[in-house]
Amino acid sequence: MKFIEKLMSIDRRIIYILIALAIIIPFFVPMGLPIPITKEVESIYNYIEDLGPNDAIIISNDYDPQTKPELYPMVKAIIRHAFDREVKVIVMTLIVTGVGLAEEAVKEVADEYGMVNGKDYCFLGYRPGWGLLILGMGVDIHTQFPTDYYGTPIKDIPVMADIHNFDDIDLVLSFSGSSIVVSWLTMAKERFGQNIAWGVTGVMAPDYYIYLQSGQIVGMLGGLKGAAEYETLINKPDTATAGMDAQSWAHVIIIVFILIGNIGFFITGKKNLKPNI
Amino acid sequence: MHLSPNIWVWIAVFFTLCIYSFLYKDNPFYKFAEHVVVGVSVGYGMVMWWNLSVVQRCWVPFIEQQRYDYIFPAILGLLLIFRLSQKLSWLSRYTLGFTVGAGAGVGLPLTIQATILKQFQATVLPLNFTTWAGICNFLIILGVLSGLIYFFFSKEHKGVFGGVAQVGIWFLMIGFGATFGYTVMARLSLAIGRVLFILQDALGVNVG
Amino acid sequence: MFWKRQIPLAIAFLAGLIFAIQYFVPHRVSQTIFDWYTDWGIVIGAFGAILGFYSISRLHITKITKRREGWLYSVATLVCILAMVIGAIVGGTEKGTFFAQMYSYVFVSISATMFSLLGFYIASAAYRAFRARTALATGLLLAAILVMLGRVPLGQTISFWTKWNPNLPSLVDIANWIMDVPNMAAKRAIALGVALGMMLVSLKIILGIERTYLGGGD
C-alpha cells in the first residue's frame, strides 16, 4: 500500500525530468520509425504534385513565434514541394509578428533551390486587417499589396505579372495557430471560390475535421506530425521527422503516468491527488 | 559536436533556460525574460506597423497614386484616438459604428454560407446499414443532431429529449478526448522544437 | 445623446445593411462600394494600432513612475521597445541587423519556450487529474490515449495484432476513425452552435440591440 501511495505522490519535477529525457534521448538513439501518412496530408501533396510552372500558390504564414516549432517545418516542406514542381510561390503573412518567420522560411528554401526573389517567388510581407485584406485580394492583389516587403512596386515583379486576384491562384495555404484559417475559408473560398488548404497546430486540428469532411478545404496538416508526414511524402526529412521519435516516447511517458494515476486511484479507494502541477 | 560561435545563439539559449527555470519555481530570471519578450514584441510590432501599414499601405498610395479618397478613412481612424480622452471618447463611436456594423454586414452572409449551410449540407449523408461507411454516416448524423440537442437549453433534458442529449454528451466527450490527445501532441512538439534548437544550433549536435 | 449614441447606431445599421445586401447584388456599383470598404477599412485599422501601443507603454511608464512592485522589470520592457525602434531606425530591419537578430533569437526563443512549458504541465496535470471516475470520463480517457498513440509513428509499430490479421485495425486506423467520425460529429455540433450564435450577434449589432462595443457613458 505504501508503494502505491508513493506512486501516487510523485513530485512534479520528477515528471518534468522524465518528459525532458523522453524528448532528448531519442535524438541520440533514433529509432527511425516509419511515419504513417493520413489522407488529409496526402490530398495536399497530390494537389501540389499536379501543379506546374504556369501555376501559382499563396503561402500565408499566419502564425507568430509561439507556434514556430510546429508550423515552420510545414511551411518549409510545402515551399520545397512547390519549388520542386517549379510552381510560382507568393509568400505573405496576416500576422505582424510573423513577418520575420515568413521571410526566413522562404529565403532558406529559396537559397537551397537557387530560386530568385521576384522571378520564381515573391515575399509580399504583412498588411493589417486580415478579413478585409483577404476580401480585397479577391478583387485585386496589386491594390492590397502595392509593393512587396522590400518596397519593390508589385507591377515591377515578374512573378506577379499575370497574377491579379484569386482567379490566378491555384491554391492558398494558410498556416496558423488561430482561427485566421477560417477567415480564409469564409472570405476567399465562399466569396471567391478560391481553393484552400491549411496547416494548423495540434491544438486546433481536431476542430477542423468538419471542413475536411464537408470538402470545403483541400487538405490539412495538423501539428508536427502533419509536417513530418509531408517531409516523408516529398522525401526530404527535416526537423519534423527528426522530432517524431521524441514525440512517440513523450506520449508513452504521459500515458504511463495517466495509467499509474488511475491504478492508484482505484487501489487507494479513489482518493484524489493534491492539485500540485 | 561543435559549439556555435554565434553570440546570438547563446543569448537565445540563455533566455530559453530563463523560461524553463519556471518549471522549478517562479524566479527573477523568468520574470526578466517575460518582460523582455513583451518589449521586443511591442517594438517589433511598432516598426512593422510603421513600415508596412502606415508607409506602404497609407502614405505611398496617398502621395504616389493620388488616392485622395483615403482622407475619409484617415479621419475615421483619427477619431479612434479620441478613445483616450474621457470627454471626447464618444467621437470614436462613429468609427466603431462603421467598422463593427460593416463587419457584421459582410460577415453575416459569409458565416451563414460557410459554416451553417455547408455544414448542415455535409451532415445530410446517405444511410446504409449494410456497409461500414453507411454505419459511420449514421454515427455522424446521430452525433451532430444529439450534440445540437445537448446544447439546446430552452427545454429540460428529460425523457426522450434527455436521452438523446445524453448520447450527445458521449460524442462530445470523445471529441474532447481527441482534442486532449492533440493538445498533448502540440505542446510536446513545442518542447521538442526548443530541444532541437539547443542541440542543433547551439551545441552543434548532428541529430536524427 | 443623439450625436453620441443614436448617430453611431444609425451608422452601424446602415453599414451593416448595405454590406449584407451587397453580397447578393453582383452590380458594378455594389462591387465599387465593396472595393472602397476593403481599402478604407485597412487605413482605419492602421490608426487603431496606435491605441494598443499607447496603452502598453502607459501601463509600464505608470508602473515605473509610481515605483510599483516589479517596476524594474517594466524598465526592461521599455528599454526593449526603445532598442527595437532605435535599432530599426539606425540599422534597418534587414536580415543580420540588430532588429532582425533580436526578433529571431530573443523574441522567437522566448515565445516558443513559454508555450512549450505547457507540455510539461500537461503531463503532470494528466497524472494527477485524468481519472476514469465515470463511464463518460472513461470514454474521454480512452479517446485521448488512442489518439495519443495513434497519431505518432509508435502507434503503427506497436499494433502487433495487424501482423496476425492485416484486416484488423491498427492504432493509427482507430485514431483516424475517432477523428473522422465521433470527433468530427461533436465538433460540428459545437461549430454549428457557435455559427448560429455569431449570426445572431451580427443581426443584433445591425439592429442596434447589441451596443456594448460603443463603450459606457451617454
pLDDT of amino acid A34: 92
End-to-end alpha carbon distance in chain C: 6
Query: Where exactly does CATH 3.40.50 map onto chain A?
Result: 39-237
- Do B46 and C36 make contact, defined as CB atoms within 8 angstroms? no
Would you say residue B208 has pLDDT above 70?
A: no
Chain C residue numbers with beta carbons less than 8 Å from the beta carbon of A164 are none
The predicted-structure confidence for B25-57, as pLDDT tens digits, reads as follows: 999 999 999 999 999 999 999 999 998 888 888
- List the one residue out of B52, C153, C132, C193 whose CA is nearest residue A242: C153
DSSP for chain B reads ------HHHHHHHHHHHHHHGGGT---HHHHHHHHHHHHHHHHHHHHHIIIIIIIIIIIHHHHHS--GGGHHHHHHHHHHHGGG-TTTGGGHHHHHHHHHHHHHHHHHHHHIIIIIIHHHHHH-----TTSHHHHHHHHHHHHHHHHHHHT--SS---HHHHHHHHHHHHHHHHHHHHHHHHHHHHHHHHHHHHHHIIIIIIS-----
Cell numbers for A138? 479577391
- Inter-chain touch A215–B56, beta carbons under 8 Å: no
What are the tens digits of pLDDT across the range A30-75? 888 999 999 999 999 999 999 999 999 999 999 989 999 999 999 9
Q: For C1, which DSSP code?
A: -
Q: Do A64 and C49 touch (CB under 8 A)?
A: no
- The CA distances from residue B89 to B73, C46, C217, in Å, are 18, 19, 9
CB contacts, 8 Å: B183 with chain A: 202-203
Which tops the pLDDT comparison, C214 or A123?
A123
- Span B127-134, average pLDDT: 91
For residue C135, how many other CB atoms are within 10 A of its CB?
A: 9
Instruction: Name the percent of chain B lying above pLDDT 90.
Output: 73
What is residue B141's predicted lDDT score, i.e. its pLDDT? Answer: 97
Q: What is the pLDDT of residue A225?
A: 95
- Please check the confidence at residue A156 and state whether its pLDDT lies above 70: yes
In terms of DSSP bridges, do strands A220-222 and A88-93 run parallel, antiparallel, or are they unpaired? unpaired
Minimum mean pLDDT range among B9-13, B83-87, C197-201: B83-87
Report pLDDT digits (tens) over C170-193: 999 999 999 999 999 999 999 999
Task: Name the more confident of C73 and B87.
Answer: C73
- Provide the number of CB pairs (under 8 Å) joining chain A to chain C: 162
Average pLDDT over residues C16-24: 91
Question: Which residues fall within 8 angstroms of residue C211, CB to CB, at 6 or more apart?
Answer: C5, C9
Is 70 exceeded by the pLDDT of residue A1? Answer: no
Cell of A99: 513577418
Q: Are A56 and A161 in contact (CB under 8 A)?
A: no
pLDDT at B70 over 60: yes
Smallest CA–CA distance, residue A203 to chain C, in Å, is 12
CA dist., res. C54 & res. A151, Å (int): 27
Phi and psi (nearest 5°) for B72?
Answer: -65, -50
Q: What is the pLDDT of residue A274?
A: 58
Q: Which three cell numbers stand for residue A94?
A: 496576416
Contacts of A246 in chain B (CB under 8 A): 188, 192, 195
**Widest Cα–Cα separation across chain B:** 71
Separation CA C89–CA B47 (nearest Å): 9
CB within 8 Å: A277 and C124: yes
- What integer pLDDT is reported at residue A276 of this predicted model? 56
| Chain C residue nearest residue B122, CA to CA | C188
Residue C22 or A194, more confident: A194
Architecture (CATH level 2) of domain A39-237 = 3-Layer(aba) Sandwich (3.40)
**Across the interface, do B195 and A28 touch by the CB < 8 Å criterion?**
no
Q: What is the pLDDT of residue A208?
A: 96
- Run of H or E residues at A251: helix A239-267
Query: What is the distance between the alpha carbons of residues B48 and B68, in angstroms, rounded to a whole number?
Result: 24
For C108-123, write each residue's pLDDT tens digit.
Answer: 999 999 999 999 999 9
Please give, rounded to a whole number of angstroms, the shortest distance from the CA of A201 to a CA of chain B: 6
Q: Between C155 and C38, where is the model more confident? A: C155
Range from A38-42, B46-50, B114-118, C29-33 carrying the lowest mean pLDDT: C29-33
- Which residues of chain A are within 8 Å of residue C132 when distances are taken between CB atoms? 262, 265
Please identify which residue in the block is written with the cell numbers 524553463.
B20
The pLDDT tens digits for A123-139 are 999 888 888 889 999 99
Sequence letter at residue B207: V
Say how far apart CA C106 and CA C184 lie, in whole Å.
39
**Gap between the Cα atoms of A194 and A59, Å rounded:** 13
3-state SS string for A124-177? EEECCCHHHHHHHHHHCHHHHCCECCCCCEHHHCHHHCCCCCHHHCCEEEEEEC
What is the interface pTM, i.e. ipTM, of the complex?
0.89
Q: Which amino acid is at A213?
A: Q
**What pLDDT, on a 0 to 100 scale, did the predictor assign at position A3?**
79
Grid coordinates belonging to B100: 463593427
Question: Which pLDDT score, from 0 to 100, does residue A27 have?
Answer: 93
Of A118-127, A235-244, B77-86, C209-218, the least confident: C209-218
Exposed (0-12), middle (13-18) or buried (19+): which is A84, by Cβ within 10 Å?
A: middle
- Chain A within 8 Å of B124 (Cβ-Cβ)? no
How far, in Å, CA of A12 to CA of A276, rounded?
7
- Per CB-CB distance under 8 Å, the chain B contacts of C7 are 94, 97
Distance between CA atoms of A4 and C128, rounded to whole angstroms?
14
pLDDT score of A6: 80
Residue A2 has pLDDT above 80, yes or no: no
Minimal CA–CA distance to A196: which of B121, C149, B118? B118
- pLDDT of C209: 93
Global pTM value: 0.90
HSE at residue B22, side-chain half, CA atoms within 13 A, is 21
Hey, are the CB atoms on A69 and B121 less than 8 Å from each other? no
- Local confidence band at A173 (pLDDT 50, 70, 90 cut-offs): very high
Residues 6+ positions from C63 with CB-CB distance below 8 Å: C70, C71, C74
